[in-house]
């Protein structure tokens, strides 16, 4: 049994009326002038109004509002947020929206805590020295709308600087949220396609988190829970997409799977997903739902831990009855069967060629991924990567 370490003090409030607890959570952290940030889409869909309503009967008011976060994260958003924050003497941030808003809020928090006045400061530097600011807290409340991405309750944040073609990958406790509030009112009925992508993305992150966290019982529990939920509830959630319990359950599994997945120190899969996401403008969850079956097919024969994945996939009964020597094979077959069923029912892309990628992009892509990857696994090399992309094509 090796040493494990686990830290995730993000409070998760999830389900019906979760949003009503926002004023309480703000008060708990002495936050009286929060900066409320969001984007045009959340405003248009009425989510901003829902948050205002939840705050209506409370003495806390917003210090300022900023609803101009762009669809794709960019350094300017972070700069605008911190300028606004300082100009209005705010003492916390409420971030409402999709991945774009959440990533910017997390990086803005990091900048404020580190005293960084302008994103230019980073200048291709992605590793932050978080050690000296751990206790200088800045309350950050994340309110995901529609589909979460899994990054909400983690220490990761990504910003793509399109102008300089540089991908900033922050991994710091200073990006961590105080609370993630997942409320039914901030979600909407989604087509089966969208639910399928979220569920398969969570499953991919869960399986990867499970395999790579075998020695960490806490992270393992997050991954196990996510796998179990997706396997049991994704198909009903796609069939009955007006049922908010199913919807919240799948979304919450995305957040939990994210905690296990983004907690992994180095991951070629994550680097590749991010690179493909930039290239195709698809979300990381969409990319994962395409490439993961190829990825785990490649990994299964090398990783005996895979046999344990069978437990959350099929449950105790079938696990106990299965042949102990071939559990990894049964796990892979069962996952494959489930994956194909979801893909075919939802009619979502299952190949990279379907999302506009060309084979001629592979060398450049693989090169970029390998340059970013800091892990030491010798199997994770350029050749393996190109092979993997070809298979996923």
Partner 1 sequence: MKNSGFYYEFYNPSKCTAGVGCLADSVSKLPSMGLSNAFFLCDDVEKSSAVDEVRKAVNAVKVRTGALYVNSEKTVCLASLREMRDIYRVNNCDCIIACGDYKVVNTAKALRMLLSGQVARFEDVKGINIARKKINIPLVVVPTSVGISNAVTSSVLVKDDDNNTFECVSPLCAPDYCIVDPSLTSVFDAPTTIAGALESFAKNVEEFVSKQAITLTKCMNLIAIREIRDNVFKVVNDPMDVQAVLGLQRAGLLAGACYSCTSAGVAHAIAGALANVTGSDNYICMGIVFAACMRYNIQVVEKDYAQALYYIVGDDKYAATPVQDRARTLIETSEKMIKELFEENGLPVSLSALGADEEMINKTVEETMKSYALVTNPRNVTKEDVYLILRSVM
Q: Considering beta carbons, is residue 81 or 331 the nearer one to partner 1?
A: 331
User: What are the contacts of 239-244 at 24+ separation with CB within 8 A?
Assistant: 239/192, 241/189, 241/190, 241/191, 241/192, 241/195, 242/189, 244/16, 244/184, 244/187
Part in contact with partner 1 (CB under 8 A); list of ranges 154-162, 186-194, 246-254, 287-295: 246-254
Nearest-approach distance from CB 274 to partner 1, in angstroms: 26
Q: Considering beta carbons, is residue 23 or 351 the nearer one to partner 1?
A: 23
State the DSSP H helix or E strand holding residue 44, giving kind and residue range, or none if neither.
Answer: helix 40-44
> Is 300 in contact with 328 (CB distance < 8 Å)?
yes
Among 57, 123, 132, 360, binds partner 1 (CB under 8 A): 132
Query: Helical H runs in 45-164?
Result: 47-55, 75-87, 99-114
Task: Tell me if 8 contacts partner 1 by CB under 8 A.
Answer: yes
Task: Tell me if 321 contacts partner 1 by CB under 8 A.
Answer: yes
Task: Tell me if 189 contacts partner 1 by CB under 8 A.
Answer: no
Q: How many residues bind partner 1 (CB under 8 A)?
A: 50
Among 214, 218, 305, 329, binds partner 1 (CB under 8 A): 218
Task: Tell me if 217 contacts partner 1 by CB under 8 A.
Answer: yes
Task: Tell me if 243 contacts partner 1 by CB under 8 A.
Answer: yes
> Is 225 in contact with 281 (CB distance < 8 Å)?
no
The number of angstroms, rounded, from the C-alpha of 144 to the middle of its chain's C-alpha atoms is: 11
Residue 43: burial class (beta carbons within 10 Å; 0-12, 13-18, 19+): middle
Part in contact with partner 1 (CB under 8 A); list of ranges 8-16, 119-127, 142-150, 374-382: 8-16
Task: Tell me if 205 contacts partner 1 by CB under 8 A.
Answer: no
Residues 293-312 vs partner 1: string with x where CB under 8 A?
Answer: -------------------x
Task: Tell me if 265 contacts partner 1 by CB under 8 A.
Answer: no
Q: Considering beta carbons, is residue 20 or 266 the nearer one to partner 1?
A: 20
Among 145, 229, 274, 283, binds partner 1 (CB under 8 A): 229
Part in contact with partner 1 (CB under 8 A); list of ranges 71-79, 155-163, 244-252, 261-269: 244-252
DSSP summary character for residue 175: G
Task: Tell me if 313 contacts partner 1 by CB under 8 A.
Answer: no
Query: Helical H runs in 181-282?
Result: 192-212, 217-239, 244-262, 268-280
Among candidate residues 248, 223, 222, 219, the one with its CA nearest the CA of residue 233: 248
Task: Tell me if 346 contacts partner 1 by CB under 8 A.
Answer: no
CB neighbourhood size of 133 (10 A): 18
> Is 30 in contact with 91 (CB distance < 8 Å)?
yes
**Residues 350, 345: Cα–Cα separation, whole Å:** 12
- List residues near partner 1 by CB under 8 A: 1-9, 11-18, 21, 28, 131-132, 134-135, 184, 217-218, 220-222, 224-225, 228-229, 233, 236, 243-246, 248-249, 253, 256, 312, 316-317, 319-321, 324
């Amino acid at each position: 049994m090796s040493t494990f370490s686990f830290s995730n003090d993000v409070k998760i409030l999830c389900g019906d009326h979760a949003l009503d607890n926002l004023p309480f959570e703000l008060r708990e952290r002495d936050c009286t002038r929060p900066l409320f940030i969001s984007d045009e889409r959340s405003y248009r869909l009425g989510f901003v109004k829902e948050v205002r309503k939840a705050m209506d009967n409370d003495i806390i008011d917003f210090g300022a509002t900023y609803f101009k976060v762009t669809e794709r994260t960019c350094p300017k958003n972070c700069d605008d947020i911190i300028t606004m924050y300082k100009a209005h003497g705010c003492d916390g941030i409420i971030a409402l929206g999709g991945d774009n808003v959440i990533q910017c809020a997390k990086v803005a928090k990091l900048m404020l805590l580190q005293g960084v006045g302008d994103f230019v400061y980073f200048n291709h530097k992605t590793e932050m020295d978080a050690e000296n600011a751990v206790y200088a807290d800045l309350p950050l409340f994340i309110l995901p709308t529609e589909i979460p991405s899994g990054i909400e309750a983690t220490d990761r944040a990504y910003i793509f600087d399109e102008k300089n073609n540089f991908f900033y990958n922050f991994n710091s406790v200073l990006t961590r949220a105080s609370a993630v509030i997942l409320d039914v009112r901030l979600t909407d009925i989604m087509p089966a396609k969208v639910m399928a992508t979220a569920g398969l993305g969570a499953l991919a992150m869960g399986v990867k988190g499970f395999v790579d966290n075998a020695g960490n019982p806490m992270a393992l529990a997050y991954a196990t829970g996510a796998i179990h939920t997706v396997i049991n509830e994704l198909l009903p959630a796609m069939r009955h997409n007006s049922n908010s319990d199913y919807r919240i359950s799948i979304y919450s599994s995305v957040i939990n799977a994210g905690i296990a997945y983004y907690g992994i120190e180095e991951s070629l899969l994550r680097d590749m997903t991010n690179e493909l996401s930039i290239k195709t403008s698809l979300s990381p969850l969409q990319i994962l739902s395409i490439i993961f079956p190829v990825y785990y097919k490649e990994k299964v024969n090398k990783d005996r831990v895979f046999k344990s994945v069978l437990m959350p996939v099929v449950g105790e009964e079938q696990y106990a009855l299965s042949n102990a020597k071939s559990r990894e094979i049964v796990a892979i077959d069962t996952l494959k069967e489930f994956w194909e069923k979801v893909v075919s029912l939802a009619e979502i892309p299952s190949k990279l060629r379907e999302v506009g990628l060309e084979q001629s992009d592979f060398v450049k892509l693989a090169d970029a991924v390998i340059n970013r990857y800091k892990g030491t696994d010798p199997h994770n090399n350029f050749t393996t990567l190109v092979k993997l992309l070809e298979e996923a094509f």
